[in-house]
């Protein structure tokens, strides 16, 4: 018979639901408050249905002519004619939202000044929650005997016997037994195999925390012990797990995950980018014997619904996901890991403006869970919190195994002769050639997508700009289009100048990764060159594939954007050449120094992870700039101390508080006038001891045709900033054709 594949258990299942619905808190006819995702300013009252309803239950309620989904949010307020109250239409077959989750949504909403319906939308972002559970047919051993035994029939029965009471789908069973589905159907008719309907959303395969992990080094073991101790306490606590790239942070926090799972609690690992998870899922599988649930934009809708439900029912022990996984309905969350905690993608920049790192700490503090913030280059905020003793700090000082940190050196571009239209200096070129000859990999790093950032008319000097935004169009030669990196607007590359109509005068100015690839191809004709930039791949899977090929030695030179700076292992990589180290040093962003420092350290960390030492060469026109010097010297504590001191002096976060106000309107003067009006009525802000700056046109003054004006509120630490801002904004009447967004703890100032 066909061997039942032991790699199969993921699709064999035992379908007993792991939850039971909560008893009713409100009897039939009692008035309850229901929060919906509709943009109303408060929950509405409804009558509990026959059988009553529990707090937190997901329900359908009539709203005007429609039925909408909502959550029971405590007792009704009443105060109106009860005979007018409408009833709850249906209670949905999902576990009620836990009190802890409702509390989290309320606190997160209050912190980010987000209305509750929008918070509830974050927590219900799975399709089909209102549908009845979708069913499918499964097959298991029946009571009856087949009329006659054939070879194919006996294979089916043998498979079912082998797996005891487990059920199979038709496809699984026919594959495992090596028979056609009609053989199975025949056995069903005779009662030898039973056919049943079960819910389609099944629990995830069980992760086994007792499987042995890698043998840890002494330093790793000590760090893992610290994290385990936190979990044993069974209460809230945050640990900053600091360790250079390759020091084995992932190995260490997987031990914390194991500890949480062993306690029967759930764990969540947040990662900044989808591309990270392919490698990561395999590691989890190696450690725990099965893959975890996934939650990010690349996951299918069916799988999303399954994850959401299983997290709520306890059928998922571990979720690996992007920032929005924080709003999943965990039943018993024991641990949240925020990997690469400094990563700016944790801040959601549209819709609800929240920082997943901060919200993870909030959620854990409510759930009595532990947080591990892992990074090679922590955010200044977390570093300061650790210094102040609010977070525990665990350091992994050396790299795992023989790997050592790369040697860092500057290439002083003032002394290099680089022809115009080229960006690779002779010094870097020589270093790359050495690697190619030695059969080692090099990375040429440039944090700029596309071919060229500027398209200029040589006849009239016109630069092509986005028709909607205040941004230049970036040429993407691979796609044969000009693209706006702000709004996504794109157009074919014109043949004549849109301004002076001269023909053939448009020239690409400055480098993007595509252009760098062109230069590298000309300079290193013998080398195999791969370009890694997000828009060269049609899907996350294609990108994962390319990363795997390169990691397997499929390229000599990698040309890449910050996509490669994060988390991938390229064992043969021994050289990182940073094309423009000065790129992030300019600009008005208070975090420019911090971000450049982090990015450079991360990129350089790509080199020399295996047994060969690596080297990082940084092309710069400012080798004496303090940030460049700190990167080269490798003295991180000194960098953080200096950076903390300068922010302290300026009263900047985390030593002061800030809120950004973004006003946008289709007419520039509408946005500006509203800003002036707000500025004139800043009483609540001043009363709180804070100050309003602006209004001023935003650095990116137009996006998708909307004009943008910014204001900034700065307050000393300890001021009730949210309160002051909401009182202030509520006190001014703003025109209807204006959008106002409030960004608490802004990360970017565009």
Residues of each annotated binding site for Zn(2+): 457, 460, 466, 469, 484, 487, 497, 500
Interface pick for ligand ADP out of 569, 646, 737, 748 (rule CB under 6 A): 569
Choose between 131 and 221: whose C-beta lies nearer to ligand ADP. Answer: 221
Residue with tokens 């990082």: 616
CA–CA distances in Å: residue 621 to residues 29, 421, 519, 520: 74, 17, 20, 21
22 vs 24: CA distance, rounded Å = 6
383 vs 216: CA distance, rounded Å = 26
The least CB distance from residue 605 to ligand ADP, in Å, is: 8
Question: Helix (H, G, I), strand (E, B), or coil: what is residue 118?
Answer: helix
**Does the protein bind Zn ion through residue 698 (CB under 5 A)?**
no
**Does the protein bind ligand ADP through residue 249 (CB under 6 A)?**
yes
579-594 burial, b at 16+ Cβ within 10 Å, e below that, comes to bbbbbbbeeeebbebb
Name the nearest CA neighbour of 219 among 79, 396, 5.
396
CB 240 within 8 A of CB 373: yes
The least CB distance from residue 471 to Zn ion, in Å, is: 6
**Does the protein bind ligand ADP through residue 248 (CB under 6 A)?**
yes
Residue 654: asked if its preceding bond is cis (omega within 30°), the reply is yes
**Does the protein bind ligand ADP through residue 694 (CB under 6 A)?**
no
Instruction: Write the secondary structure of 39-87 as one string of H (helix), E (strand) and C (coil).
Output: CCCCCEEEECCCCCECCCCEEEEEECCEEEEEEEEEECCCCCCHHHCCE
Q: Which stretch binds ligand ADP (CB under 6 A): 11-19, 222-230, 247-255, 734-742?
A: 247-255
**Does the protein bind ligand ADP through residue 220 (CB under 6 A)?**
yes
535 vs 512: CA distance, rounded Å = 12
Choose between 245 and 324: whose C-beta lies nearer to ligand ADP. Answer: 245
CB 741 within 8 A of CB 353: yes
**Does the protein bind ligand ADP through residue 341 (CB under 6 A)?**
no
**Does the protein bind ligand ADP through residue 243 (CB under 6 A)?**
yes
* Binding residue count for ligand ADP, defined by CB under 6 A: 15
**Does the protein bind Zn ion through residue 576 (CB under 5 A)?**
no
User: Which listed option, Zn ion, ligand ADP, none, makes contact with residue 243 (CB within 5 to 8 Å by class)?
Assistant: ligand ADP
**Does the protein bind ligand ADP through residue 286 (CB under 6 A)?**
no
112 alpha-carbon distance from chain centroid: 18
Choose between 212 and 492: whose C-beta lies nearer to ligand ADP. Answer: 212
Q: Which stretch binds ligand ADP (CB under 6 A): 135-143, 223-231, 242-250, 425-433?
A: 242-250
User: Which listed option, ligand ADP, Zn ion, none, makes contact with residue 487 (CB within 5 to 8 Å by class)?
Assistant: Zn ion
Binding mask 398-437 vs ligand ADP (x if CB under 6 A, - otherwise)? --x-------------------------------------
The least CB distance from residue 732 to ligand ADP, in Å, is: 48
237 vs 528: CA distance, rounded Å = 48
The least CB distance from residue 397 to ligand ADP, in Å, is: 11
**Does the protein bind ligand ADP through residue 246 (CB under 6 A)?**
yes
Interface pick for ligand ADP out of 112, 238, 239, 250 (rule CB under 6 A): 250
**Does the protein bind ligand ADP through residue 375 (CB under 6 A)?**
no
The least CB distance from residue 370 to ligand ADP, in Å, is: 18
Residue with tokens 């030179």: 557
**Does the protein bind Zn ion through residue 398 (CB under 5 A)?**
no
- Of 485-514, binders to Zn ion (CB under 5 A) are 486-487, 489
Q: What are phi and psi of 341, to 5 degrees?
A: -60, -20
**Does the protein bind ligand ADP through residue 647 (CB under 6 A)?**
no
Q: What are phi and psi of 233, to 5 degrees?
A: -60, -30
Name the nearest CA neighbour of 315 among 15, 553, 703, 694.
15
**Does the protein bind ligand ADP through residue 598 (CB under 6 A)?**
no
Q: Is 178 exposed, middle or buried (0-12, 13-18, 19+ CB in 10 A)?
A: middle
347, two tokens: 């801040």
With residue 714 as reference, give the H or E element that holds it.
strand 706-716
Residues found near ligand ADP in the complex (CB under 6 A): 214-217, 220, 243, 245-251, 400, 569
Q: Which residues bind Zn ion (CB under 5 A)?
A: 466, 468-469, 484, 486-487, 489
């Amino acid at each position: 018979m066909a061997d039942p594949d032991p790699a199969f258990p993921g699709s064999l299942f035992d379908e007993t639901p792991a939850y039971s619905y909560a008893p009713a808190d409100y009897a039939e006819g009692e008035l309850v408050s229901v929060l919906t995702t509709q943009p109303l300013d408060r929950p509405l009252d409804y009558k509990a249905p026959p059988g009553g309803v529990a707090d937190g239950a997901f329900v359908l309620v009539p709203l005007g002519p429609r039925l909408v989904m909502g959550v029971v949010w405590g007792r009704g307020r009443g105060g109106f004619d009860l005979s007018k109250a409408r009833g709850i239409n249906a209670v949905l077959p999902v576990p009620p939202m836990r009190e802890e989750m409702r509390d989290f949504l309320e606190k997160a909403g209050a912190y980010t000044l987000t209305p509750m319906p929008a918070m509830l939308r974050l927590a219900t972002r799975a399709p089909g929650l209102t549908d009845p559970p979708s069913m499918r047919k499964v097959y298991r051993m029946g009571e009856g005997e087949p009329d006659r035994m054939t070879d194919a029939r006996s294979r089916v029965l043998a498979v079912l016997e082998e797996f005891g009471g487990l059920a199979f789908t038709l496809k699984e069973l026919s594959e495992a037994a090596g028979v056609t589905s009609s053989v199975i159907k025949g056995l069903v008719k005779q009662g030898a195999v039973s056919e049943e309907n079960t819910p389609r959303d099944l629990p995830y395969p069980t992760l086994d925390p007792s499987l042995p992990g890698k043998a840890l080094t002494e330093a790793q073991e000590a760090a893992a012990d610290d994290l385990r101790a936190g979990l044993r306490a069974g209460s809230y606590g945050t640990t900053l797990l600091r360790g250079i790239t390759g020091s084995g942070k992932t190995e260490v926090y997987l031990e914390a995950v194991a500890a949480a799972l062993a306690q029967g609690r759930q764990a969540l690992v947040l990662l900044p980018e989808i591309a990270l998870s392919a490698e990561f899922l395999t590691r989890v599988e190696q450690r725990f014997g099965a893959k975890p649930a996934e939650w990010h934009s690349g996951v299918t809708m069916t799988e999303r619904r399954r994850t959401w439900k299983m997290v709520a029912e306890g059928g998922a022990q571990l979720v690996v996901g992007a920032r929005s996984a924080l709003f999943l309905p965990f039943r018993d969350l024991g641990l949240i890991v925020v990997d690469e905690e400094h990563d700016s993608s944790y801040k959601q920049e549209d819709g609800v403006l929240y920082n997943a790192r901060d919200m993870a700490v909030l959620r854990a503090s409510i759930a009595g869970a532990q947080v591990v913030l892992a990074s090679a280059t922590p955010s200044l905020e977390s570093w300061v919190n650790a210094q102040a003793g609010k977070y525990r700090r665990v350091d992994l000082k050396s790299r795992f195994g023989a790997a050592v940190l790369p040697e860092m050196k500057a290439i002083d571009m003032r002394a290099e002769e680089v022809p115009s239209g080229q960006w690779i200096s002779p010094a870097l070129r020589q270093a790359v050639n050495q690697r190619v000859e030695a059969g080692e990999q090099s990375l040429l790093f440039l944090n700029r997508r596309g071919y060229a950032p500027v398209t200029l008319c040589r006849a009239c000097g016109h630069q092509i700009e986005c028709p909607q935004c205040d941004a230049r169009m970036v040429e993407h030669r691979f796609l044969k289009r000009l693209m706006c990196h702000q709004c996504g607007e794109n157009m074919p590359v014109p043949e004549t100048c849109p301004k002076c109509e001269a023909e053939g005068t448009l020239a690409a100015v400055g480098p993007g990764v595509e252009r760098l690839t062109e230069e590298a191809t000309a300079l290193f004709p013998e080398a195999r060159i791969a370009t890694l930039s997000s828009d060269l791949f049609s899907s996350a899977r294609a990108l994962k594939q390319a990363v795997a090929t390169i990691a397997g030695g499929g390229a000599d030179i990698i040309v890449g954007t910050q996509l490669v700076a994060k988390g991938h292992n390229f064992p043969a990589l021994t050289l990182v050449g940073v094309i423009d180290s000065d790129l992030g040093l300019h600009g008005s962003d208070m975090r420019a120094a911090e971000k450049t420092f982090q990015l450079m350290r991360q990129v350089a960390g790509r080199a020399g992870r295996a047994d060969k030492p690596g080297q990082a060469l940084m092309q710069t026109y400012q080798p004496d700039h303090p940030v460049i010097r700190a990167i080269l010297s490798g003295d991180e504590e000194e960098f953080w101390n200096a950076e903390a001191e300068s922010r302290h002096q300026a009263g900047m976060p985390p030593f002061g508080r800030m809120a950004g106000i973004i006003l946008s309107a289709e007419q520039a003067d509408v946005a500006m006038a509203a800003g002036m009006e707000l500025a004139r009525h800043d009483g609540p802000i001043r009363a709180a001891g804070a100050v309003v700056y602006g209004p001023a046109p935003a650095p990116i003054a137009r996006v998708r045709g909307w004009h943008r004006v910014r204001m900034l509120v700065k307050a000393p630490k300890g001021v009730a900033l949210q309160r002051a801002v909401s009182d202030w904004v509520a006190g001014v009447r703003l025109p209807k054709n204006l959008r106002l967004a409030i960004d608490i703890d802004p990360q970017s100032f565009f």
